[in-house]
Amino acid sequence: MSKSLLQCVNETFKRVQLIQGDSGLLTTLTDSARQIYIDSAVQLWNEAIDELYTTAEVPHPNELAESTITLVTSTRAYVLNASLIQLRFPLLDETNGRFIEEYPGGYMQLVIDQPFPANETGLANFAVIRPTDGYLYLDKIPTSVENGLVYKYRYDKTLELTAAASTVPFNDTVFRAMVPAVSELWKRNHQRDFDSAMYRASVGRASRLLTNKQLRESWLPVQIPVSNSDPFEAA
């Protein structure tokens, strides 16, 4: 069972000796006397998890999410989900089987290609992220005919653990390997003490456990036995 963020913070505080034993465990991530330390530990766990998945070169689980936009008459730009990092084109109208692809060349090319944007009406085929506000900007202005069409989109979302009950995206074995790494980050920030070798070894071990890769015992070339017998020698 995956550990909660609260458990992560408690295990880190134990290791850096901020709390002693189970009697001193936090029961919540809100504590006025230690809030600055709690907030720091939460941030460090998020940073360490990002580092782990970068090192392991595997996608973060639960990274892909879905949402929808509903076309409205005369509305060309639409708010996207607040947690969106990257939009995965195309958008899909699952009722009618229509797609909205990414506009070739991006936003400025769309602006250049449409000197009279108010004249561009009808069913959208392309869209871009408008850099001025992050809205989805269609290549066409919907009319009453397109009003109510629903398009589903998929996107990479931000993955930040903030709630005490939030769970880390890996098993307990990986968690145990990560505790020393996060503790070293803690000591670097609060005690001016950092064992870089311990940090690298801990993240590396966690990465191997995450991907089920075994540490190689040797980097020497594989030795293939060579027979000294002459294949043409008579028996």
Q: What is the pLDDT of residue 62?
A: 74
Strands 150-157 and 136-138: what pairing? unpaired
At 229, list the tokens: 């017998």
Entry field: residues in the chain: 235
Q: pLDDT digits over 73-82, tens only?
A: 999 999 999 8
pLDDT above 70 for 219? no
At 39, list the tokens: 């907030």
Q: What is the pLDDT of residue 232?
A: 57
Q: What is the pLDDT of residue 22?
A: 79
12 Cβ contact list (under 8 Å, min separation 6)? 41, 44, 45, 179, 182, 183, 186
pLDDT above 60 for 90? yes
Left (φ > 0), alpha (ψ -120 to 50) or beta: where does 131 sit? alpha
Confidence of residue 230 (pLDDT cuts 50, 70, 90): low
pLDDT above 80 for 21? no
pTM above 0.85, yes or no: no
Cα end-to-end distance, the chain, whole Å? 64
Q: pLDDT digits over 142-189, tens only?
A: 999 999 999 999 998 877 889 999 999 899 999 999 999 999 999 999
Phi, psi for residue 201 in degrees, rounded to 5: -65, -40
Q: What is the pLDDT of residue 152?
A: 98
